[in-house]
Structure 1
Amino acid sequence: MKQATSQQRPYQEVGMMLRSMIVDKNYAMGARLPPEREIADMLDVSRTVVREALIMLEIEGIVEVRRGAGIFVVRIPGNEVEKEGEKEGEESSVNQCNDAGPFELLQARQLLESNIAEFAALQATRDDIIKMRRALQIQEQDLVSDEHEVGDMQFHLAIAEATHNSMLVELFKQSWEWRVNNPMWIQLHRHLKDTQYRKEWLGDHKQILAALIKKDARAAKLAMWQHLENVKLRLLELSDVDDINFDGYLFESWPLHEANT
């Protein structure tokens, strides 16, 4: 594998390689890709990086990872002959999202994901709960290996999927993609040097899961809201409040605890 540039993380470079592989090897829609271990050996990277890349491609709607079945192509990546108008439209959409500040993104996530968690508590199946438990195990492994937030993403995605509503899943994926590509969010996260905050958020996740297992919709909603409130408070500590781009005062958290009293 080529060394990643300073502008790209390893999983992003692996994601680009997988996109090219799908196109170059003429994979058809519905075709199954090699398993994670084989991809990791082929590209000489860790399975964790491959997993991160697959999550990225799953968010983009290129692959679908089916537990126990494999990795399947669900959309062929665009190539160099894409229509210029489509590319401009996509770039415009991404740029518009990147204009949002991290606290505006968090406010939107609180409103969206707290309600997703509430609904998921009523809809979640045994398989959904198992998927969430696996995501927490991956998150714990990420803490040990000091890898990026693979388990974090998988846990939130598993909750969205537990609603069994494809539109809610797509809304979540889109919001996460905006977060990943948001320059201000990336800049803030560079200041998080230790893993203590990730341990705290793992504890939040366990509280959310406990509420989901009990099918306690209100507790699940409040636990998700509080988790994202904790994320906001941590980021506030790291923010330059005098920066003209600081948006923490403009997009305060929705007072869910007051609305439910």
Structure 2
Amino acid sequence: MTVQTKVRPKGPGSLVSKVGASLRHAITSGQYSPGQKLPSEVELTETHQVSRTVIREAVAALKSDGLVEVRQGAGIFVLSPTFQLTANRTVDKARVSSDLEVLEVRAPLEIEAAGLAAARRSPAQEEVIFECHRQVLRCIEQNESIRMADLALHFAIAEATNNPLFRQHLEFHGSAVIPQSRPMPDPDFAEQTAYRRLIHQEHETIVMAISDRDEEAARNAMRDHLRGSQARYRELLRNSRSIPG
């Protein structure tokens, strides 16, 4: 099923994805070397013409992916490739357990949010949801992390409830709402892409139900999506018992 293209200005979630992609490219291209300090938060807000919140969310995504380290009172530093590889190959059991807890808290609220979004969304809000959904696909096609694009989509759905408390709940957890794009150690390219496309398909079912103003279908689709995420994390915890470290 193909979502119809609708052009809308980029919202805050898209800005986070854009800034994150820019910083990621600067790091992976060698503009910033391992051990080098990134510009300050103030400098980054001025360079990218965005708020501090956007910069913090973008940096949080880079930190989660093992690209940078935030040192309190010192700044943001680029990690060495060796450290990144080691970090990505190790399953942090405590972190996965925490991710699972966040997913469990999200479920009842986001299931209801999807239903309310289907009932209340305006045409403009629908277009923002479509654009966020397309951004996830763009990230997949460019082999980039879908984490921030995923977060932006969930924010857009929460916004479409027209109840600010739903979005505030997600913002309280920040980028931890979307723990990581692939909860597995050192995945290969094909496996990572397949996983991301699965998430995209689950999102599409939610998006189309909201577009069709089908409250029950939207709730069911969000329930299936979040329960699937929980099941994947529980499987990771089970498998991690056999991973040394």
Map of 1:114 onto structure 2? 111
**How has the CA–CA distance of structure 1 residues 200 and 104 changed in structure 2, closer, same or farther, with 3 Å as cutoff?**
same
Map of 1:104 onto structure 2? 101
Task: Say yes or no: does 1:56 pair with 2:36.
Answer: no
Cα displacement (A) at 1:202: 0.6
Any idea what SS the aligned residue of 1:3 has? coil
Any idea what SS the aligned residue of 2:183 has? helix
Q: Is the 8 A contact 1:98 1:178 kept in 2?
A: no
Q: Is the 8 A contact 1:109 1:175 kept in 2?
A: no
Q: Specify which of 188, 193, 218 is matched with residue 216 of structure 2.
A: 218
Task: Say yes or no: does 1:3 pair with 2:25.
Answer: no
Larger RCO: 1 or 2 (CA < 8 Å, sep 6+)? 2
Distance between the aligned counterparts of 1:217 and 1:186, measured in 2? 27
Any idea what SS the aligned residue of 2:32 has? coil
Q: Is the 8 A contact 1:188 1:239 kept in 2?
A: no
Distance between the aligned counterparts of 1:100 and 1:173, measured in 2? 20
CA RMSD of aligned residues (A): 3.7
Cα displacement (A) at 1:227: 0.6
Q: Is the 8 A contact 1:121 1:216 kept in 2?
A: yes
Distance between the aligned counterparts of 2:105 and 2:42, measured in 1? 33
Distance between the aligned counterparts of 1:197 and 1:186, measured in 2? 8
**How has the CA–CA distance of structure 1 residues 218 and 176 changed in structure 2, closer, same or farther, with 3 Å as cutoff?**
farther
Cα displacement (A) at 1:237: 3.3
Map of 1:72 onto structure 2? none
Distance between the aligned counterparts of 1:187 and 1:145, measured in 2? 16
Map of 1:48 onto structure 2? none
Count of equivalent residues: 175
Q: Among all aligned residue pairs of Structure 1 and Structure 2, give the percentage whose two residues are the same amino acid.
A: 20
Map of 1:85 onto structure 2? none
**How has the CA–CA distance of structure 1 residues 17 and 165 changed in structure 2, closer, same or farther, with 3 Å as cutoff?**
farther
- Report the structure, 1 or 2, having the larger helix content: 2
**Rg comparison, structure with higher value:** 1
Code of the aligned partner of 2:114: A
Map of 2:226 onto structure 1? 228
> With structure 2 as the length reference, what TM-score do the two structures score?
0.58
Task: Say yes or no: does 1:188 pair with 2:210.
Answer: no
Distance between the aligned counterparts of 2:96 and 2:150, measured in 1? 24
Map of 2:64 onto structure 1? none
Superposed, 1:12-91 pairs within 5 Å as 17=39, 19-21=41-43, 34=49, 56=57
- Structure 2: 5+ residue stretches without partners: 1-25, 61-71, 74-93
**How has the CA–CA distance of structure 1 residues 187 and 228 changed in structure 2, closer, same or farther, with 3 Å as cutoff?**
closer
Map of 2:18 onto structure 1? none
- Structure 1: 5+ residue stretches without partners: 28-32, 36-52, 60-78, 81-96, 244-261
Q: Is the 8 A contact 2:97 2:237 kept in 1?
A: no
> With structure 1 as the length reference, what TM-score do the two structures score?
0.55
Distance between the aligned counterparts of 2:210 and 2:40, measured in 1? 35
Distance between the aligned counterparts of 1:107 and 1:168, measured in 2? 15
Map of 1:160 onto structure 2? 158
Any idea what SS the aligned residue of 1:239 has? helix
Q: Is the 8 A contact 1:121 1:213 kept in 2?
A: yes
Cα displacement (A) at 1:54: 5.1
Deviation digits for residues 61-84 of structure 1 (CA, Å, limit 9, x no counterpart) = xxxxxxxxxxxxxxxxxx97xxxx
Map of 1:204 onto structure 2? 202
Q: Is the 8 A contact 1:117 1:217 kept in 2?
A: yes
Cα displacement (A) at 1:58: 11
Map of 1:145 onto structure 2? 142
Cα displacement (A) at 1:241: 5.3
Q: Is the 8 A contact 2:181 2:196 kept in 1?
A: no
Map of 2:238 onto structure 1? 240
